[in-house]
């Protein structure tokens, strides 16, 4: 699964950065009064292009990427969100989209999917067993429950933004996200507390 994500992100990251640059240029041309905003967004895309270049060089040099933490995957997610927002602004400018909330909804759906993907990989990231062998079963249980909690939070979050009206999705998804975060934090705190007690 991770390999598949990696191969997609390999070509998607530069494509998204290039598409983003084109969209910023188009927005800048059409709305020159907001040039400060477009300059900042351009700078962000330049940083992302630099990150993709650094990552490519590392891979070419044979450095191993840490699972689920690839720089490129981060660029893909932020690139998708930014391209969606810039595309939404452009579409409104041309009168192609009457719905002001379309890009907002799209961004939140992407964010929900990001939670799902992140949560999915949590139980796969294993620290060396030699660091805390006696606690490994508790740590494993914690990793699994954190993963499941985060995936379920992400799925419900995405579903809210897919099917509900924007106002209702806002009302429901934010408390849901906070509840998910509190649950995850509690699980991690309980593991740390039990380690502290045993030490």
- For residue 133, give the DSSP letter: G
Contact 10, 70 (CB under 8 A): no
Least distance from another protein to the Cβ atom of residue 150, Å: 8
User: What string marks each residue from 7 to 26 as x (binds another protein by CB under 8 A) or -?
Assistant: --------------------
Decide: is 69 part of the binding site for another protein (CB under 8 A).
no
Among 140, 165, 168, 179, binds another protein (CB under 8 A): 140
Please state, in angstroms and rounded to a whole number, the distance separating the CA atoms of residues 27 and 63.
38
The whole-angstrom separation of Cα 117 and Cα 135 is 26
Does residue number 123 form part of the binding site for another protein (CB under 8 A)?
yes
Count Cα atoms within 13 angstroms, Cβ side, for 23. 22
Of 84, 91, 79, residue with least CA distance to 107? 84
Question: Among 24, 52, 142, 151, which residue interacts with another protein (rule: CB under 8 A)?
Answer: 151
Binding of residue 36 to another protein (CB under 8 A): no
d(CA 59, CA 127): 23
Q: Does 148 bind another protein (CB under 8 A)?
A: yes
Q: Does 1 bind another protein (CB under 8 A)?
A: yes
Cα-Cα-Cα-Cα dihedral sign, residues 178, 109, 49, 125 = positive
Contacts of another protein in 101-120 (CB under 8 A): 119-120
* Contacts with another protein, 77-106, as mask; x by CB under 8 A: ------------------------------
Specify the residue, 3 or 94, whose C-beta has the smaller distance to another protein: 3
How far apart (Å, rounded) are the C-alpha atoms in residues 83 and 196?
A: 45
Token pair, residue 22, equals 């084109």
For position 137 contacting another protein by CB under 8 A, the verdict is: yes
Quick one: which of 8, 25, 40, 126 contacts another protein (CB under 8 A)?
126
**Exposure b/e, 161-184, CB count within 10 A at least 16 = b:** beeeeeeebeebbeebbeebeebb
As measured in angstroms, the least distance from the Cβ of 151 to another protein is 5
Which positions lie near another protein, rule CB under 8 A? 1-2, 4, 119-124, 126, 128-130, 136-137, 140, 144, 147-148, 151
């Amino acid at each position: 699964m991770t390999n598949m994500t990696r191969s997609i992100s390999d070509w998607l990251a530069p494509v998204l950065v290039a598409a983003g640059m084109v969209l910023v240029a188009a927005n800048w041309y059409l709305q020159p009064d907001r040039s400060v905003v477009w300059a900042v967004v351009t700078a962000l895309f330049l940083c992302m292009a630099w990150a993709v270049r650094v990552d490519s060089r590392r891979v070419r040099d044979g450095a191993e990427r840490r699972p689920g933490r690839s720089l490129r995957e981060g660029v893909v997610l932020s690139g998708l969100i930014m391209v969606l927002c810039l595309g939404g602004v452009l579409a409104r400018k041309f009168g192609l989209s009457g719905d002001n909330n379309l890009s907002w909804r799209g961004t939140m759906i992407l964010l929900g999917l990001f939670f799902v993907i992140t949560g999915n990989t949590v139980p796969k990231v294993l620290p060396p067993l030699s660091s805390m062998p006696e606690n490994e079963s508790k740590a494993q249980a914690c990793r699994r429950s954190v993963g499941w909690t985060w995936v379920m939070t992400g799925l419900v979050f995405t579903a809210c933004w897919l099917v509900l009206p924007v106002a209702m999705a806002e009302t429901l998804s934010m408390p849901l996200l906070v509840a998910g975060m509190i649950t995850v934090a509690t699980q991690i705190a309980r593991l740390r507390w039990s380690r502290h007690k045993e030490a």
